[in-house]
């Protein structure tokens, strides 16, 4: 939204007057520096749609309970809808002097319908008004992220299906460990993002209580129907305690916690994209759409999108820490410190949205180098565990003994500078005489991945079954 009108209503800088919305007890207005630190309209105007939704629900309840006349509420709602249309069209003049989105809307409403606009604030405080609008915003954001994460999971499943048989090295400590399939590796991230979706649903369920009607901190003497306002705004129920209602920002912290964990998952995948696309690995090629060149080295293809996704996790984690520090020592109920709650949420929402969309795009566009992946899967004696398992299964050898025997065979291959399958049968029999020619049937990377058929294992048939399961389980 444009910033062009933020100063439109400011008076001469040498003239101070009390804010007409709350200044009855004040002879003079705030210092200009106080106005600057106190105003939040530059960022909380993002809440305009949620604020108007809350005001309409409040007005409708005031009419139903007889606190306001139906005719007054009709005027109020018509005025609010007109204001929303103006803001939607970027035709609304915001005023820094009016501090925030809530006072800006109220002042505009008075200009449109006169003194009846002042009745909208009956039985309501900015404290419960802000808390309600902010909850609505966070709830909307969580719903949006559920959709984005679904799309990311769908992209992962599509590529996992395509590469269900593609063999690659599996790593621990970034050292080649055992062969896996690329499809299986991608499915690991489907599970990570499924947990993120579960966390956001948990956060949504936990915050789905309506603070409207808690007023400043103590409730109100007016005969409100808080169940009505909660229901009309899609909340499960009203909040139970008026003090907690206006001072709670757990919902924002839970949103930021979800965002931080999700961003860290994206960062891990971003790191792998960077490694996989390097010349040293050459497992995948990222498209032109998500890479950049060098200003001096014409051969370069830099994985900038993956690197920036990786970096976003730091910023989002910082947003969480920022709000934790704001909230950690606050007494009940509302404190002005809590005005600092929105920018971390807005920033995290923006950065996480970009990161998810970028990662989804990269996954859709990448091309896997199947030959290079399979070649790399055989490095580092990655089928050593298959050899040990063969000793256990065929010779009834205790696993710890099989582990020792296999280690000796690996050491021999290292001294010969060859692969396990390139050792002769007699060389292996010098270490364990009972080994037979059949040992060579388990030393290929193809056999290794085909044999991992345990539930959740990497075998291609498992991958295909897991894709079908995931689509049903996660609504994909």
- Identify the DSSP state of 100: S
Between CA 249 and CA 316 the distance in angstroms is 17
pLDDT at 44: 94
> Taken in order 222, 226, 228, 230, is the CA torsion positive or negative?
positive
Question: Token pair for residue 46?
Answer: 């993002």
Between CA 97 and CA 42 the distance in angstroms is 11
Report the number of secondary-structure helices (H) and strands (E) in the chain.
18, 6
Query: CA torsion 214→145→324→38, rounded to 10°?
Result: -60
Any idea what the Cα angle at residue 77 is, between residues 72 and 82, rounded to 5°?
130
pTM over 0.75: yes
260 contacts 317 by C-beta, under 8 angstroms: yes
Distance from chain centroid for Cα 30: 39
The stretch 251-268 carries a mean pLDDT of 98
322 contacts 253 by C-beta, under 8 angstroms: no
- Using the structure block, give the residue that is written with the tokens 């931080």: 260
> Taken in order 53, 58, 229, 78, is the CA torsion positive or negative?
negative
145 contacts 137 by C-beta, under 8 angstroms: no
pLDDT band at 192 (very low <50, low <70, confident <90, very high): very high
13 contacts 32 by C-beta, under 8 angstroms: yes
How much of the chain exceeds pLDDT 90, in percent?
A: 89
pLDDT in tens, 331-354: 999 999 999 999 999 999 999 999
pLDDT band at 23 (very low <50, low <70, confident <90, very high): low
The verdict on whether omega for the bond into residue 333 sits within 30 degrees of 0, i.e. cis, is yes
Given a cut of 80, whether residue 294 has pLDDT beyond it is no
Comparing 33-37, 167-171, 203-207, the range with the smallest average pLDDT is: 33-37
How much of the chain exceeds pLDDT 70, in percent?
A: 93
pLDDT in tens, 47-88: 999 999 999 999 999 999 999 999 999 999 999 999 999 999
pLDDT band at 20 (very low <50, low <70, confident <90, very high): low
pLDDT at 6: 43
The stretch 289-298 carries a mean pLDDT of 76
Distance from chain centroid for Cα 320: 12
**Active site members:** 173, 294
Between CA 34 and CA 18 the distance in angstroms is 13
The stretch 202-208 carries a mean pLDDT of 98
Given a cut of 90, whether residue 390 has pLDDT beyond it is yes
> Taken in order 187, 189, 194, 195, is the CA torsion positive or negative?
positive
pLDDT at 122: 97
pLDDT in tens, 100-109: 999 999 999 9
Given a cut of 90, whether residue 364 has pLDDT beyond it is yes
The stretch 288-300 carries a mean pLDDT of 77
């Amino acid at each position: 939204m444009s910033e062009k009108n933020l100063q439109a209503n400011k008076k001469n800088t040498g003239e101070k007057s009390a804010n007409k919305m709350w200044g009855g007890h004040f002879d003079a207005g705030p210092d200009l520096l106080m106005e600057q630190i106190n105003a939040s309209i530059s960022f909380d105007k993002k809440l305009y749609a949620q604020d108007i939704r809350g005001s309409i629900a409040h007005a409708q309840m005031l009419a139903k309970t007889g606190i306001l006349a139906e005719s007054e509420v009709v005027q109020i709602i018509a005025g609010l809808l007109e204001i929303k249309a103006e803001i939607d069209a970027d035709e609304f003049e915001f005023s820094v002097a009016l501090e925030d989105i809530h006072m800006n809307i109220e002042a505009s409403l008075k200009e449109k319908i006169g003194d009846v606009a002042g009745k909208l604030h009956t039985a309501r405080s900015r404290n419960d008004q802000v808390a309600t609008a902010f909850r609505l915003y966070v709830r909307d954001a969580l719903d949006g992220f559920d959709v984005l994460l679904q799309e990311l999971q769908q992209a992962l499943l599509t590529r996992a299906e395509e590469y269900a048989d593609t063999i690659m090295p599996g790593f621990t400590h970034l050292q080649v460990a055992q062969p896996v399939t690329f499809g299986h590796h991608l499915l690991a991230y489907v599970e990570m993002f499924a947990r993120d979706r579960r966390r956001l649903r948990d956060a949504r369920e936990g915050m789905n209580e309506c603070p409207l009607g808690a007023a400043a901190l103590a409730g109100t003497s007016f005969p409100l129907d808080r169940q009505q306002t909660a229901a009309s705004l899609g909340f499960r129920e009203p909040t139970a305690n008026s003090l907690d209602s206006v001072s709670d920002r757990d919902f924002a912290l839970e949103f930021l916690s979800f965002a931080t964990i999700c961003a860290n998952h994206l960062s891990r995948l971003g790191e792998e994209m960077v490694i996989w696309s390097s010349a040293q690995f050459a497992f995948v090629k990222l498209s032109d759409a998500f890479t950049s060149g060098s200003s001096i080295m014409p051969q370069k293809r830099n994985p900038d999108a993956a690197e920036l996704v990786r970096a976003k996790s730091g910023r989002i984690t910082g947003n969480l820490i920022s709000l934790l520090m704001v909230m950690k020592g606050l007494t009940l109920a509302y404190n002005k410190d809590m005005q600092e709650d929105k920018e971390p949420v807005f920033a995290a929402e923006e950065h996480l949205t970009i990161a998810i969309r970028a990662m989804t795009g990269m996954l859709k566009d990448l091309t896997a180098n199947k030959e290079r992946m399979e070649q790399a899967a055989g490095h580092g004696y990655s089928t050593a565990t298959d050899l040990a398992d063969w000793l256990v299964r065929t010779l009834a050898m205790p696993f710890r003994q099989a582990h020792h025997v296999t280690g000796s065979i690996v050491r021999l291959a290292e001294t010969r500078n060859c692969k396990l399958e390139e050792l002769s049968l007699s060389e292996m029999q010098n270490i364990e005489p009972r080994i037979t020619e059949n040992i060579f049937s388990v030393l290929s990377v193809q056999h290794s991945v085909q044999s991992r058929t345990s539930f959740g294992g990497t075998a291609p048939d498992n991958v295909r079954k897991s894709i079908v399961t995931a689509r049903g389980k996660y609504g994909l």
